[in-house]
A = this chain, B = another copy of it.
Amino acid sequence: MSDGLSYAAAGVDLDAAERTKEGLRALVASTRDRFTLSELGQFGGLYQVPDDIDGPVLVSSADGVGTKLKLAFATGRHDTVGQCLVNHCVNDILVQGARPLFFLDYLATGEMDETVVQEVVRGVAIACRDNGCALLGGETAQMPDFYARDEYDLAGFIVGAVARDRVLDGSAIREGDVLVGLGSTGLHTNGYTLARKIVFEVMGLGVDDELPGTGRSAGEELLAVHRSYLGVLRRPLEDRIVHGLAHVTGGGIPGNLPRVLPEGLGAIVDRGAWEVPAVFQTLQDAGGVALGEMDRVFNMGVGMIVVVEASDARAVIDAARNGGVDAWTIGSICQGSGVTYR
């Protein structure tokens, strides 16, 4: 019937989906490791449980990139958000001592733009390789009249593993332990709804305008890739000197550090111990945001907190700096609860 409806006419292009999948094949293949048993196109991805982990516990996490995606849309730069997503997930399981095994992504678009999908997945694959993590599968969904043209949502899912007797659960944390803060690259993937409002509405900047104090355009500064701390923490974890780790995401330090503290213990954070990156000061000033609100929404320059015995702080700081990540002793563990700034 010549005037009949088809899936393509309704807005879903199965051929484009097939072509896109072909284009992703090499990217996905580049992340394979010796435990990866499947290839793209099977219903599920297959991954052998590694035989070098004793009593393996799987550690899994799901996350999204949030409205940082709007920066990718505004700048047309789509190869970094996938890196943010993978690194975020890697950090989320790293805090329990796990090394990443594999990753899957969910990419939902209104209309399938093959180039954009390719760029997004390229970012995912780059970070998977960087973290030694197989990109085992994923779903690219075409959802017309759901997402605006040229927009998409991106979520990811990671599975890692750790030997059962090496799971980090904070139970080793003691009063007097110190907090080592590891530098973030900027906002990482949190607080973008507020940051965008301040930068693009209150300040009225465009993505190519310089974000005052940062020496970079608003687009560059706000798209900075969420840092993975796997590389710099591998050695301290192997050496078993880490008592606890907190990934500073939504909720900031006060929202995340207490999640790993044992009952009866709190933390004192010394504001003067590190230099808050310019982007946060600019956001605070321009938005008239209360300091407590800044602390709760943003990482304020500290993307990961490592809890160690005072005598081990130096080793963690050195490991971080040798890996190109700034690090400082930013506080300590005390009796009480929650986080107190001084």
Contacts and interface: CB of A to CB of B under 8 A. Distances in A.
A4 interface: yes
Interface string A187-216: 000010110011000100000000000000
Contacts of A67: 143-146
**What is the predominant secondary structure among interface residues of chain A facing chain B?**
mixed
A43 B194 CA distance: 23
Given A137-B61, A155-B139, A287-B4, A93 B293 contact: no
A37 interface: yes
Interface stretch (A7-15, A264-272, A307-315, A331-339): A7-15
Contact of A93 (B43, B61, B250, B289): B43
Given A137-B61, A296-B14, A95 B290 contact: no
Interface stretch (A22-30, A97-105, A227-235, A322-330): A97-105
A57 interface: yes
Interface residues of A, number: 83
A125 to B, nearest CB: 15
A284 B145 CA distance: 22
Nearest to A1: B288
Interface string A45-62: 111110000011111111
Contact of A157 (B96, B101, B104, B161): B104
A96 B92 CA distance: 29
A5 B197 CA distance: 9
A305 interface: no
A138 interface: yes
Contact of A37 (B5, B49, B57, B139): B57
B153 A44 contact: no
B57 A47 contact: yes
Contacts of A96: 42-44, 46
Given A288-B4, A293-B6, A11 B193 contact: yes
Contacts of A47: 57-60
A191 B7 CA distance: 8
A251 interface: yes
A296 B92 CA distance: 40
Contacts of A259: 41-43
A106 B108 CA distance: 12
A144 B193 contact: yes
A130 interface: no
A164 interface: yes
A42 B106 CA distance: 22
B57 A193 contact: no
A105 to B, nearest CB: 7
A198 B6 CA distance: 10
Interface of A: 1, 3-7, 10-12, 14, 37, 41-49, 55-64, 66-67, 69-70, 92-93, 95-96, 98, 101-102, 104-106, 108, 136-139, 141-146, 151, 153, 155, 157-161, 164, 167, 191, 193-194, 197-198, 202, 247, 250-251, 255, 259, 287-290, 293, 296-297
